[in-house]
C-alpha cells in the first residue's frame, strides 16, 4: 500500500518504512508507558490525550501494548482530529501494518460516521475507552478543560509546525498544561524551537533526546503542574428503579467494579411497553439536543449487542416520509453524512422482501438499529455478580449531601456512597423536580398479517416485530392518566398503520405506560441535592439510556466524558429550578 498524505497539510501521516516502530519509540517509550502501566492498581484509570488521530496508528499500537501489560485497570484514550479519514481511507492506510490486524479489525467495525463532535467507542474486553473528538483542536481542548480533571500522558502528533502552526501554538499548549498533573508526561516527534519555547512557558520541563532513526531529536517533557491526580475508589451505589435506564446504569457501574444495589418495588410485575423500537429520531441541527440525539443513537446499538444479545434484534429500521418533521431532518442528515452503513435510501427491493408493494413513498433505511424486548433485556443487564436486586419500595433518603447517604425502604435501612434515581415520575416522591410532565402512551398488539414484517417501520406511527405470531403498533401520546386501555387509542393506532402501509390488522390486546418528559425534551442527568438523577427520557429511553449510563459512570469515576461541555451543561438536572 502507498504512503498516505494529508492534502490539507501536505504532510505524511507516517513513514511507511517503519511507522509502527516510530510510534512505539516516540510515544510509548517516550512516555515510559509500559513501566507506568505495570504499577496501576485494579480499576485505576490511566488517561492519554492525543492531538491528531490521523490513521489511528498510535491508538492501535497503544491498544496492542496495553493488552500485553494490563487487563485490570482502565485506559482512556482521547484524540482530537479536525480532518478525520473516511473509513475506506483508514482501512487502506492501516493495511500497511499487518502486526495490528486484530486491533485494526476491531476499530474499523466500530469507527463512527464523520459527524462533528464527540464519539465514544468502548473496547470492552480490554477495559479501553476511545473518545474521538472530530473538531478543531482549540475547541476540543476547551471542552475537555470544562469537564475533565487531568491526563497522564500526551501524544503531540499533529502535522509539522510549519504546515500546521495552530496546533503547536502557546494557546494550545496552555490548554494541555491546564489538563496535566504533577506526574503527566508528554512526547512529540518534533523538536522545533517554537515547541520547546511554548512548552517551557506552560510549565513543562523538556528534554531533547535522540529522534527515531532519520530524525536528529525529539521532545520528551514532564509537567511541573501543582495539580494532583485524583483516584476514584470503587463505591457502594444504590439505584432506585429497575426499568431500562436503571438497568443500563446498574450494568455499566457493575462492569467498572462498583457494588450496585437496585431497588424495585414490583420486580415480578410485567408492566409498560413490552418492546422498544430504536427509532432514529434525529436532528440535523448543531444544538445540544441535536448532538445528544445523535450521540445516543450511535452508542446504543453496540451496547445492546454486547450486553443484551438475547433481547436485542438488529434488524434495521425503515423511516417513511409520512413523518414530515422528522423525515425532513433526516434528509439533511443524509446529505451531511455520506455513510450507507449509517443511513441509506430504502429501495423497492427492501419493501418487496417484506411482502409490501411499492408504497410510492420515499423512505430511509437505518441498518444499525432494531428493536429490543424490554423485560428480557432488563434481566440480562442485571445479571452480574456486582448487582443485587431488592424487591423493596424506597420511602425516604436522608443525608443526601453527606459522604454516606441513608436510604430507607419499606423493609430496611441502608448506607450508600451514591444514590441514583432512575424511577421515572415516582422520583417526585423523593426529591422536588421542576420542568417535568407525565405523558400516557398506549401501543396495540396485533396478529401478524400475511406480509412478513420482520423489521420496524416508522412514520406517523410505527409497526414492529414482537413475537412469533404478533406485532406491535403505536403509539398514542396524551395527558390522560388512566391506566386502563382505551379503545379509541387502539383505533387511532390501527388507522395510522393502515394509512402508512395499507394493512388491515387484527387487535389482540393493549399495553399502557407513562412517559416522564421534560420541557426541553432532554433528560435530567447529574447531581441534584446530593443525589444522581437519570430521569425524563420520554419516549426515547431505550435509545438514550446506554449513553446516559456511560456519562454517569464517567463523572463518578472522574474519567473524561463522552460528550461536549455544552451538552453536559444542557443535561444539568437543576436547569429548571428558577
Q: Which three cell numbers stand for residue 278?
A: 430504536
Contacts with 193 (C-beta within 8 Å, 6 or more apart), sequence order: none
Residue in this structure with the C-alpha cell 478543531, named with its chain if needed: 136
In this structure, what is the dihedral angle of CA atoms 358, 362, 367, 369, given to the nearest 10 degrees? Answer: -110
Helix (H, G, I), strand (E, B) or coil at 457: strand
Q: SS3 for 120-173, per residue? A: EEEEHHHCEEEEEEECCHHHHHHHHHHHCCCEEEEEECCCCCCCCHHHHCHHHH
> Cβ(279)–Cβ(372) under 8 Å?
no
Strand order in the sheet with 470-474: 344-345, 363-366, 317-320, 457-458, 462-465, 470-474, 436-447, 507-518
Model confidence pLDDT, tens digit, residues 83-122: 999 999 999 999 999 999 999 999 999 999 999 999 999 9
Computed over every residue of the chain, the mean pLDDT equals 92
180, 190, 191: which is closest to 224 by C-alpha?
180
The number of residues in the chain equals: 578
Model confidence pLDDT, tens digit, residues 192-238: 888 898 999 999 999 999 998 878 899 999 999 999 998 878 999 99
For the whole model, what pTM was predicted? 0.94
Model confidence pLDDT, tens digit, residues 299-353: 999 999 999 999 999 999 999 987 566 788 899 999 888 888 999 999 888 888 8
Could you give the CA distance from residue 422 to residue 420 in angstroms, rounded to a whole number? 6
Contacts with 410 (C-beta within 8 Å, 6 or more apart), sequence order: 265, 392, 393, 395
> Cβ(150)–Cβ(184) under 8 Å?
yes
Model confidence pLDDT, tens digit, residues 450-493: 988 999 999 989 999 999 999 999 999 899 999 999 999 999 99
> What is the arithmetic mean of pLDDT over 376-402?
97
Pairing of strands 363-366, 457-458: unpaired
In this structure, what is the dihedral angle of CA atoms 8, 196, 118, 304, given to the nearest 10 degrees? Answer: 110
> Cβ(573)–Cβ(535) under 8 Å?
yes
- 15 pLDDT more than 70: no
Could you give the CA distance from residue 17 to residue 53 in angstroms, rounded to a whole number? 20
Pairing of strands 236-240, 259-263: parallel
Question: Could you report how far apart the first and last alpha carbons of the chain are, in Å?
Answer: 60
Contacts with 239 (C-beta within 8 Å, 6 or more apart), sequence order: 246, 249, 250, 253, 260, 261, 262, 263, 420, 422
Amino acid at each position: 500500500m502507498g504512503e498516505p498524505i494529508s492534502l490539507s497539510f501536505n504532510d505524511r501521516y507516517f513513514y511507511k518504512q517503519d511507522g509502527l516502530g516510530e510510534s512505539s519509540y516516540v510515544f510509548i517509550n517516550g512516555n515510559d508507558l509500559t513501566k507506568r502501566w505495570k504499577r496501576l492498581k485494579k480499576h485505576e484509570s490511566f488517561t492519554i490525550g492525543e492531538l491528531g488521530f490521523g490513521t489511528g496508528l498510535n491508538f492501535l499500537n497503544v491498544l496492542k501494548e496495553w493488552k500485553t501489560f494490563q487487563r485490570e485497570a482502565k485506559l482512556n484514550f482521547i484524540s482530537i482530529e479536525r480532518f478525520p479519514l473516511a473509513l475506506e481511507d483508514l482501512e487502506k492506510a492501516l493495511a500497511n501494518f499487518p502486526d495490528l490486524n486484530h486491533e485494526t479489525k476491531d476499530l474499523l467495525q466500530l469507527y463512527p460516521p464523520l459527524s462533528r463532535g464527540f464519539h465514544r467507542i468502548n473496547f470492552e474486553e480490554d477495559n479501553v475507552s476511545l473518545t474521538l473528538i472530530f473538531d478543531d483542536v482549540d475547541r476540543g481542548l476547551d471542552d475537555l478543560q470544562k469537564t475533565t480533571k487531568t491526563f497522564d500522558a500526551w501524544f503531540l502528533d499533529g502535522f509539522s509546525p510549519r504546515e500546521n502552526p495552530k496546533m503547536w501554538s502557546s494557546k494550545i499548549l496552555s490548554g494541555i498544561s491546564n489538563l496535566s498533573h504533577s506526574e503527566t508526561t508528554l512526547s512529540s516527534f518534533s523538536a522545533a524551537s517554537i515547541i520547546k519555547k511554548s512548552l517551557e512557558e506552560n510549565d513543562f520541563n523538556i528534554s531533547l533526546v535522540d529522534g527515531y532513526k532519520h530524525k536528529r531529536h525529539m521532545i520528551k517533557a514532564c509537567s511541573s503542574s501543582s495539580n494532583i491526580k485524583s483516584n476514584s475508589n470503587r463505591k457502594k451505589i444504590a439505584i432506585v428503579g429497575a426499568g431500562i435506564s436503571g438497568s443500563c446504569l446498574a450494568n455499566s457501574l457493575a462492569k467498572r467494579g462498583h457494588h450496585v444495589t437496585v431497588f424495585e418495588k414490583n420486580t415480578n410485575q410485567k408492566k409498560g411497553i413490552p418492546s422498544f423500537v430504536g427509532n432514529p429520531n434525529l436532528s440535523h441541527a448543531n444544538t445540544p439536543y441535536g448532538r445528544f440525539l445523535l450521540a445516543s443513537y450511535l452508542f446504543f446499538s453496540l451496547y445492546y449487542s454486547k450486553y443484551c444479545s438475547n433481547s436485542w434484534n438488529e434488524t434495521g429500521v425503515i423511516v417513511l416520509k409520512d413523518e414530515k418533521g422528522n423525515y425532513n431532518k433526516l434528509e439533511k442528515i443524509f446529505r451531511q453524512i455520506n455513510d450507507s452503513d449509517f443511513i441509506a435510501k430504502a429501495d423497492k427491493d427492501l419493501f418487496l422482501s417484506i411482502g409490501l408493494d411499492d408504497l410510492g413513498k420515499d423512505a430511509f433505511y437505518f441498518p444499525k438499529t432494531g428493536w429490543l424486548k424490554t423485560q428480557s433485556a432488563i434481566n440480562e443487564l442485571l445479571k452480574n455478580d456486582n448487582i443485587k436486586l431488592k424487591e423493596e419500595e424506597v420511602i425516604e433518603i436522608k443525608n443526601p449531601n453527606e459522604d454516606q447517604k441513608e436510604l430507607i425502604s419499606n423493609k430496611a435501612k441502608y448506607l450508600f456512597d451514591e444514590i441514583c434515581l432512575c424511577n421515572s415520575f415516582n422520583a417526585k416522591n423523593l426529591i422536588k423536580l421542576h420542568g417535568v410532565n407525565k405523558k400516557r402512551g398506549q401501543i396495540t398488539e396485533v396478529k401478524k398479517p400475511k406480509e412478513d414484517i420482520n423489521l420496524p417501520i416508522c412514520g406517523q406511527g410505527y409497526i414492529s416485530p414482537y413475537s412469533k405470531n404478533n406485532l406491535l403498533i403505536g403509539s398514542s401520546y396524551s395527558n390522560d392518566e388512566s391506566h386502563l386501555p382505551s379503545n379509541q387509542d387502539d383505533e387511532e393506532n390501527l388507522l395510522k398503520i393502515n394509512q402508512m402501509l395499507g394493512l388491515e390488522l387484527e387487535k389482540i390486546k393493549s399495553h399502557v405506560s407513562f412517559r416522564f418528559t421534560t420541557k426541553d425534551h432532554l433528560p435530567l442527568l447529574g447531581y441534584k441535592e446530593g443525589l444522581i438523577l437519570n430521569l425524563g427520557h420520554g419516549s426515547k429511553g431505550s435509545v438514550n439510556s446506554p449513553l446516559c449510563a456511560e456519562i454517569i459512570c464517567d463523572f463518578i469515576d472522574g474519567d473524561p466524558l463522552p460528550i461536549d461541555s455544552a451538552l453536559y451543561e444542557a443535561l444539568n438536572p437543576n436547569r429548571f429550578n428558577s
